[in-house]
Amino acid sequence: MKKIFAGVGIFLVLGVVTVALLQHFKPEALGKFSKLIGGPAAPEMKVEDFYLLDHQGRAQTLYRQSGSKAVVLISTANGCATVKEAAPKIKALRDKFAAQGVVFWMIDSNPQDDRANIAKETAQLGLDLPVLEDRAQLVATALGIGQTCDVICVNPTNWMTFYRGAIDRQLSDQKTKVRGPNNYLENALTKFLAKKTVSPNRTLAKGTPIHLALAKDSTSKPISYTAEVAPVLQKSCVPCHSPGNIGPFAMSSYEKVKSRSDTIREVLLSQRMPPWHADPHYGTFVNERGLTPEQAQTLERWVEQGSPRGDGEDPLAAHPPPPAEDWPLGKPDFIVKFPKPQEIAASGVFDYRYIPIRSPIPTNAWLRAAVVKPGNRKVVHHILVLVATPQELSSGRLRQGQAGGINGYFSAYVPGYDAVPFPEGSGKLLPAGTMLIFQVHYTADGKAETDQSEMGLYLSKEKPATELHTRSAFNVRFEIPPGEPNQETEAEYRFTKDAVLYDMSPHMHLRGSWFSFEAVYPDGKKEMLLSVPHYDFKWQHLYRLAQPKRLPAGTRLICRGAHDNSPLNADNPDPSKTVHFGDQTFNEMFIGYFNYTDAPTSGSVAKTGGGG
């Protein structure tokens, strides 16, 4: 008896030692071994963060799902029979596991599919879950998705995959040779949520192939740095990533770019760069800065290929951008300058500063442009120029309400603003003696800085045909409860005369989440003019319409949006606070600014008065 025990014991010890040694020296060999015996092979991979819009135009960011119990990604494409077959199963699984905190997303990386078709198909299939539009196929490439109905289950505590493959045995490729239950995905989720070993954790899905422009077989031709990569960088990156501009490093040579090529790939996937936040589905804007799917693919593929230099000159080194011009519109007729340099500490988050300066123009003056020039682009987050009479200023109504910029502003600088004149044929009136109040928001850049910003005033030769009005739809009566991830707010502006709309600019603070402008015409028709699915306080774009929009009298401009007071909002200064309207960044705002003129054919006489 004793001998039998000893024999079994020695055998077991040997086995265990073999496994341990294998694991130590050749983990991949053990993986194969475990696969053979149906054990936990490790097809685990870390899923990088990504950002996509879904078919309803909502922003979806993977790493924001850190509060969920699991994230299930399922590849899809319109008109795919397998997806049709899978749809009821997907819905049933979502219904079962959503209550347990599992997030289900479909990902459509088929370049032929557009939002309208996806919405139609999704409705037909009865699938009421977000379908993410992966137009540039960056996510499909990163995840290695090559067909529909491929399931990837992600663990939100470390972003490692814990299951990959088919929804169930019926939807799996014949090559899948695994024992165990047939309901692969359901089994994987059940086991994972119960903190048990997921087995099988790798099966092969059966689906329709998705053609990947970035797939390895189509990348045999090296991307040309000179002819393909550099032009994209020059157009979309170099304007900020050049000496003296706001970008933290200069893209001034191939070497500079190459040493940051992994970062380029990462920021494209998470869409942190280039900073442009309008949903491309609505409207066209002259100052658009996003990359087209093709441009993003070019950069991605180049990085995948190891950022090769190739032949030809280095356009970034050979043709650096002209040094930032002092005054792109030429020498101003009058210049207003901060009386003394402002000092900005090396670190911290600062309150707004208000610097009042009296208008230097002795008479009432019509202006064709008013350009704010930041003295130090590294630290000037934004400058809003408000106007007030000296009486208003001394009466202390400056900081909030009418004079606080809520109705509109006279001029502004925000990162990404171009110095442009007022629209053709329009101008702004600056009455004599007006107080120009510079509301300045500084951000620290790691070193002590100073700033002495200026504003250039350009006189109009003659009285313009129409006055340009900067107005807003705003709401000051909101309350954002602690921790609330999506506190929606609405504001409205009604046009009493026919008008021409030139641009729009949402303004919220650090808890701003999304914002949209919709026109409701007098006949009841609605049109989305601008949607910003993921508002970013750091980039307050003025979205300038490529085609100014005529709005008949009675049109209502409806601004909808939300604040995110949850801890998932990485910008949130304090998720435990109830937040109300206020001008400092720890308070909130809800303003939809826009510039318009009365429509020229209306014959109405432009009113006088400042923009603020």
Partner 1 sequence: MRQPQAVWQRPAVAVDRIPDSQTGKMHCNRGTLRLLTLIIVCLSAGLGRADAPSRMGREAGKVENFLLLDHEGKSRELYRQTSARAVVLIFTTSGCPIIEKSTSTIKALRDQFASRGVVFWLVDSNTDDDAKTVREEARNFAIDLPVLLDHTQSVARSVGATRTAEAFCIEPKSWKLFYRGAIDDRLGYGTEKQHASHAYLENALNNFLAGKKIKPARTEVKGCLIHFETPVQTEQK
- Whose structure tokens read 């045909």? 465
Question: Rule CB under 8 A: is residue 42 a binding residue for partner 1?
Answer: yes
Site string for partner 1, 365-404 (x = CB under 8 A): ----------------------------------------
Q: What does the DSSP 8-state code read for residue 290?
A: P
Site for partner 1 in 51-110 (CB under 8 A): none
Smallest distance from the beta carbon of 355 to partner 1, in angstroms? 23
Which pairing describes strands 454-459 and 353-358: parallel, antiparallel, or unpaired? unpaired
- From the centroid of its chain, how far is CA 272? 6
Question: Rule CB under 8 A: is residue 209 a binding residue for partner 1?
Answer: no
Question: Rule CB under 8 A: is residue 319 a binding residue for partner 1?
Answer: no
Q: In the beta sheet, which residues pair with residue 353? A: 440
Helices (H) and strands (E) counted in the chain, each on its own, are 12, 26
CA neighbor of 70 nearest in space, from 133, 148, 162, 132: 162
Question: Rule CB under 8 A: is residue 259 a binding residue for partner 1?
Answer: yes
Question: Rule CB under 8 A: is residue 317 a binding residue for partner 1?
Answer: no
**Cα–Cα dist 185/203, whole Å:** 10
Question: Rule CB under 8 A: is residue 270 a binding residue for partner 1?
Answer: yes
CA neighbor of 102 nearest in space, from 60, 130, 66, 70: 70
Smallest distance from the beta carbon of 20 to partner 1, in angstroms? 4
Among 144, 243, 323, 522, binds partner 1 (CB under 8 A): 144
CA neighbor of 544 nearest in space, from 165, 286, 174: 286
Which pairing describes strands 435-442 and 353-358: parallel, antiparallel, or unpaired? antiparallel
Smallest distance from the beta carbon of 19 to partner 1, in angstroms? 6
Among 7, 29, 38, 46, binds partner 1 (CB under 8 A): 46
Question: Rule CB under 8 A: is residue 36 a binding residue for partner 1?
Answer: no
Token pair of 152 as six digits: 């990837």
For residue 121, which phi and psi values (nearest 5 degrees)? -60, -45
Q: Which is nearer to partner 1, 518 or 571 (CB)?
A: 571
Q: Which is nearer to partner 1, 92 or 448 (CB)?
A: 448
Among 536, 553, 554, 568, binds partner 1 (CB under 8 A): 536
Q: SS3 string of 436-486?
A: EEEEEEEECCCCCEEECCEEEEEECCCCCCEECEEEEEECCCCCECCCCCC
CA torsion, points 271, 276, 281, 282, in degrees to nearest 10? 160
Smallest distance from the beta carbon of 436 to partner 1, in angstroms? 29
CA distance to 30, 39, 165, 534, per residue, from 169 (Å): 25, 18, 10, 39
Among 33, 35, 39, 48, binds partner 1 (CB under 8 A): 48
* Spatial contact of 46 and 56, defined as CB atoms under 8 Å apart: no
Site for partner 1 in 150-179 (CB under 8 A): 158, 160
Q: Which is nearer to partner 1, 30 or 188 (CB)?
A: 30
Question: Rule CB under 8 A: is residue 538 a binding residue for partner 1?
Answer: yes
Residue 406 neighbours by CB under 8 Å, 6+ apart: 400, 472, 474, 476, 589, 591
Site for partner 1 in 407-466 (CB under 8 A): 443-448
3-state secondary structure of 261: helix
CA neighbor of 335 nearest in space, from 436, 244, 413: 436
Site string for partner 1, 7-26 (x = CB under 8 A): --x--xx--xx-xx--xx--
Smallest distance from the beta carbon of 66 to partner 1, in angstroms? 11
Question: Rule CB under 8 A: is residue 578 a binding residue for partner 1?
Answer: no
Smallest distance from the beta carbon of 291 to partner 1, in angstroms? 17
- Binding residues (CB under 8 A) for partner 1: these are 5, 9, 12-13, 16-17, 19-20, 23-24, 27, 30, 42, 44-48, 142-144, 158, 160, 216, 248-250, 255-256, 258-263, 265-266, 270, 272, 304, 306, 346-349, 443-448, 536, 538, 570-571, 573
